[in-house]
């Protein structure tokens, strides 16, 4: 049976796994995202156009 070596805990990754890892929990951008998600676009009479496939 071979010995399985685990990953080095001190090794850094080139890119974070997700944006939540690089944005602080109390950062202003989280408030802006919550505000943007709460806006109801149909209430402002926005119409989305569907692309026509040929």
pLDDT of the residue at 53? 65
Residue with tokens 């149909």: 42
50, pLDDT greater than 70: yes
**pTM for this structure?**
0.47
Model pLDDT for residues 8-45, shown as the tens digit of each residue: 777 777 776 787 778 888 999 999 989 988 988 778 88
pLDDT of the residue at 16? 65
Q: Residue 53 in 3-state DSSP?
A: coil
Nearest partner of 28 among 36, 17, 40, 38, judged by Cα: 36
Which tokens in the block code for residue 4? Answer: 């399985």
Report which DSSP code applies to 31.
H
């Amino acid at each position: 049976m071979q010995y399985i070596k685990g990953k080095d805990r001190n090794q850094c990754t080139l890119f974070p796994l997700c944006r939540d890892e690089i944005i602080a929990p109390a950062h202003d951008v989280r408030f802006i995202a919550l505000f943007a998600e709460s806006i109801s676009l149909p209430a402002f009479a926005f119409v989305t156009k569907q692309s026509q496939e040929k």
